[in-house]
Chains A and B, each alone.
Chain A
Amino acid sequence: MVGFLLNRLLQITIVMFIVIAIAFSMFTYLGDPLVAILGADSTPAQRAALRAELGLDRPIIVQFASYVGNILSGDFGISYRLGRPVGAVLAERFPATFELAVSGMLIAVVVGIPAGVYAAIYKNRLSSRIIMGASLFGISLPSFFMGVLLIWVFSVNLMWLPSYGRGTTVDIAGWKTGLLTLDGLRALLMPALTIAVFQIAMIMRLVRAEMLEVMRSDYIRFARARGLSERSVNFRHALRNTLIPVVTVVGVQLGSVIAFAVITEAVFQWPGLGLLFLQSVAAADVSMMAAYLIVIAALFVFINLIVDLLYFAIDPRISISSGKG
């Protein structure tokens, strides 16, 4: 276990170093931060002064070293677009994205797993075929289109739900939550659903495929042979073993939903990390973009680690010494 962890930490260090190097290179290749600070219309003298003030006139390797140093001490620099520390802005936006991603995944799990089980157990029924057909639709529908469609139906025509924003939020120890007000929940519904649609379809198809696989295995046949009830076979034996890969996928998907809720957040003006990233790109706010990249990479690394550790917990067959990676 210790060897595994050490091995993992070494890998993580290498990955994060590469990510930081890529993030840093954005400063050089993705546009000039001076445009964001001074505007498009500035004098050469103003630009030279600011370049010196920000240390952008130093050799590139010195800039990189100081950037790595700052990151290690938790300082991501200042957002040129917002005039505020990047770390503080990221922390402020994270709750919105987290609540959206978690509620989207929650809907997906609550709907997707039973649907997948149903489609697996009754794989020959017409209703299962309809569910499978619908899931194909859900997987192929772009989230932008899904979002606009929901807005058109529930905001423009029915006028039931707000088309943008987070509604009223409540501040609990610095974490702004929209889950405690009716207004906030109403605002959450459509964005969460937009995220869920794809995930429902994916989880459902995964659960169905895994379940069918498990149902063919010997221990299920033995369980049946022992005369256990259908119900007990399906849920106690089959579903439990099906869930191992599902946990992995849900974990990784939660990470990717947090990282790539960009489109959904943009459609609903959801004030989270994705929208922040999009607006930073438009304004060439490179320090923000670089920090976003690093944070998201760290998030993925972290989630992967957790998932690996969960494997140990759930499945006793995976040996610790083998260092499955």
Chain B
Amino acid sequence: MKLNAKNSITAMAAAAMIAGASVAASAETLRIAAQADAGTMDPQAQNISTTISVVSMVYDALITRDRELKKVPALAESWENLSPTEWRFKLREGVTFHNGSAFGADDVAFSIKRSQQPTSQFSNFVSTIEDVRVVDDHTVEVVTKAPDPLLLDKLAYIFIMDRDWAEEHNVQEPQNLRDAQETYSVLNANGTGPYKLQSREPDSKTVFIRHADYWGEMAGDIDEIVFTPISSDPTRIAALVSNEIDLVIDVPSQDVGRLEANPDIKIEKTDEFRTIFFGFDQSSEALRHGDAGGKNPFKDIRVRQAIDHAINAEAIAKTVMRGLATPTGQILAPGNAGYDAALDVRAGYDPENAKALLAEAGYPDGFAIRLDCPNNRYINDEQICKAVTSMLTQIGLDVSLNLMPRAKYFPMLWERDTSMFLMGFNSPYFDGMYALETLLATRNDDSGQGIYNYALYSNSQLDEAIQAAAVEMDPEARNQQMAAMYKMIKDDMAYVPVHHQVLVYAMQTSVEAPVRPDNWLEIRWVKKD
């Protein structure tokens, strides 16, 4: 009977072939697969790279980045500073939304204010903006509360919506959670971008077609884009290998080697702007989770240095990450403003030295500690923590590993209910300032300083330097200030860095898709022959 079943499949499959259903798509369609779907088509509801990549096919921002990652005009044609807190933007003329209505200054003011709503995940990006003034149809002025050297970088993430369309469909806010009603902008979109949303089936398939009147330049000549989430790793890769998919933007690390050996598949890689590091509660008098005789060893820099020496980051990169990680000595990735290559050197794997430092700090027999770690947030997070647990055991610590899904992990960190934790962070805007302000500045929930400072690290000298650099409008001076601050925190071993993740795209050889280090798939750069 088994045999019969198999024969009948073969027969049916053959019939399907004869009927002329073809697997290959036409040349002008690009089929993209990712691990998860974009959560929404709303441009301000979700700050997740997959969502940003998909939404950016439909929506434009005022500013974009070129292939060298420099800021260049998009919907804003030019800009100038009237004063350190006032910016005037001249908008591009003759641009239309996909529904045919004209793009203008009202839409810009509306979209920026929409991004400031509580349910916007981009409210941090526009928190320095005091007011947006419409001067005329194609001129807007943005007023900031204090000088903001990163305003342009932040505006590159604020997609512009059609105000009339948003009002007509009652989507003036990114999410309406009160009324338990469908938010129109979740499934529908109306932007000025290179592609129009043709159809959307969440978790299944989203189709885009070229916007004929697009104002900008495109590298390729792709008429149609089909975006498909395929959550199962083997299926996603099988779909690529069997030419059902042109481009995979979430390549499981275990498959990279095999795909590289496949002559029909091309691999693109770049160092991602995401650094993986360990943090420690440096505020409590005694360990919250662990036992060190009523003391908190992490307040002692020698203990933090010992942990740094105990972690073999090269081994983790090679075995756990299968080469798809670059060991690092600091928490800022190359390519960001403020990055200093001289600081990006690890102290080196030296367990003997680590033991000596522990003894010197008064813990010759180590201490007991709970290591908190997410198991579904960063690439191989669980395995990294398992490896580090055994490395720390070798220097005499008694580590109990506490693995949690991210939905429980982050609320725990919010409460600062941890003694030692794993974290991954990418400073947005291609700039190191955000990490300094949120990870390292002394926690102040009112001002937003140190909101992700789960270590409760506090260094008044650093706080002052951050205040000064935050309003420094001269890029050169700012970069130097930031490099000095990163040296300060490295010397103080505020966090123990492990590596930067490497980002991998896999594609058919006919496709050209450059990888941006912030994992934003820039569709205007993609080509298919």
Residues of A within 8 A of B (CB): 30-47, 49-50, 53-54, 75, 77-78, 80-85, 88-89, 107, 111, 114-115, 118, 131, 134, 138, 147-148, 151-152, 154-156, 158-166, 182-183, 185-186, 189, 193, 196, 200, 204, 266-269, 271, 275-276, 278-279, 282-284
Chain A residue contacts of B406, Cβ below 8 A: 35, 40, 284
Determine if B178 and A53 form an interchain contact, defined as CB atoms under 8 angstroms apart.
yes
A138 to B2, CA, bound (A): 9
Flag whether B23 is at the interface (Cβ < 8 A): yes
Task: Select which of A30, A115, A159, A266 is within 8 A of B23 by beta carbon.
Answer: A159
A164 to B229, CA, bound (A): 10
Would A165 and B45 count as touching, CB distance under 8 A? no
Instruction: Tell me if B203 and A46 are in contact (CB < 8 A).
Output: no
Chain A's interface: helix, strand, loop or mixed, by majority?
A: helix
Question: Interface centre among B21, B45, B48, B186, by most A CB within 10 Å?
Answer: B21
> In the complex the two chains form, is A43's CB within 8 Å of B445's CB?
yes
Q: Does B180 lie within 8 Å of A276, measured CB to CB?
A: no
What are the nearest 4 A-B pairs in CB distance?
A31-B407, A284-B407, A271-B204, A115-B1
Contact between A269 and B232, CB atoms less than 8 A apart: yes
Q: Known: A131-B1, A276-B203. Is A32-B231 also a contact (CB below 8 A)?
A: no
Q: Are B123 and A40 in contact (CB under 8 A)?
A: no
Closest chain B residue to A83, Cβ basis: B186
B40 contacts across to A, CB distance below 8 A: 82-83
| B293 CB-CB contact with A under 8 Å | no
Point out the residues of chain A lying under 8 angstroms from B243, CB to CB: 159
B5 to chain A: closest residue by CB: A111
For the complex, what is the distance from the CA of A278 to the CA of B14, rounded to whole Å?
33
Which residues from A are CB-within-8-Å of B47?
Answer: 39, 41
Mask of B119-156 contacts with A, CB within 8 angstroms, 1/0: 10101100000000000000000000000000000000
> Do A164 and B230 touch across chains, with their CB atoms under 8 A apart?
yes
Option from B16, B36, B229, B239 in Cβ contact (under 8 Å) with A155: B239
What's the minimum C-beta distance from B12 to chain A, rounded to whole angstroms?
6
Contacting pair A32 B234 (CB below 8 A): no
The docked-state distance in angstroms from the alpha carbon of A37 to that of B46 is 8
Q: With A37-B177, A162-B23, A183-B21 in contact, do A155 and B203 touch (Cβ < 8 Å)?
A: no
Q: Please count the residue pairs between chain A and chain B whose beta carbons lie under 8 angstroms apart in the complex.
A: 188
- Interface-central residue, A38, A78, A164, A193, by most chain B CB under 10 Å: A164
B182 within 8 A of A: yes
Is B419 engaged at the interface, CB distance under 8 Å to the other chain? Answer: no
Q: Report B447 CB to chain A, min CB distance, Å.
A: 10
Show the binding face of B for A, using Cβ within 8 Å. 1-2, 4-5, 9, 12-14, 16-17, 19, 21, 23, 36-37, 39-40, 42, 45-48, 118-119, 121, 123-124, 175, 177-178, 180-183, 186-187, 201-205, 228-232, 234-236, 238-239, 241-244, 376-377, 405-408, 410-411, 414, 438, 445-446, 448, 451-452
Known: A83-B42, A182-B21, A269-B230. A35 touches B410 (CB 8 A): yes
**Which residue of the partner chain, among A30, A164, A266, contacts B228 with CB atoms under 8 Å?**
A164
Q: In chain B, what residue has the closest Cβ to A118? A: B1
Is B177 within 8 A of A78, CB to CB? yes
User: Complex Cα distance A38/B120, Å?
Assistant: 8
The reply to whether A163 and B235 form a contact with Cβ atoms under 8 Å apart is yes
The complex places the Cα of A111 from the Cα of B42 at a distance, in Å, of 48
Q: Judging by beta carbons under 8 Å apart, are B405 and A284 in contact?
A: yes
Minimum distance in angstroms from B422 CB to a CB of chain A: 13
B411 in contact with A84 (CB, 8 Å): no
- Chain A residues, Cβ within 8 Å of B377: 40
Q: A40-B377, A84-B186, A85-B181 are in contact. Are A166 and B235 (CB under 8 A)?
A: no
Assess the A166–B177 pair: CB atoms within 8 A: no
B44 smallest CB distance to A (angstroms): 12
CA distance A186 to B15 in the complex (A): 10
Q: Which residues from B are CB-within-8-Å of A36?
A: 407
CA distance A47 to B231 in the complex (A): 29
Complex contacts, B119 vs chain A, CB 8 Å: 37, 50
Q: Which residues of A contact B187 (CB under 8 A)?
A: 84
Structural contact, B39 and A81, CB atoms closer than 8 A: yes
Report Cα–Cα, A114/B21, bound state, in Å. Answer: 33
Most chain B CB within a 10 A radius of its CB, from A85, A154, A271, A276: A271
Give 19 new A-B contacts, CB below 8 A, not counting A31-B405, A78-B177, A276-B203. Answer: A31-B407, A41-B47, A41-B451, A43-B448, A45-B445, A49-B118, A77-B180, A83-B175, A84-B202, A85-B180, A160-B13, A163-B239, A163-B244, A186-B13, A267-B234, A269-B204, A275-B203, A275-B231, A278-B231
Q: A83-B183, A85-B180 are in contact. Are A111 and B4 (CB under 8 A)?
A: yes
Query: Is B238 within 8 A of A111, CB to CB?
Result: no
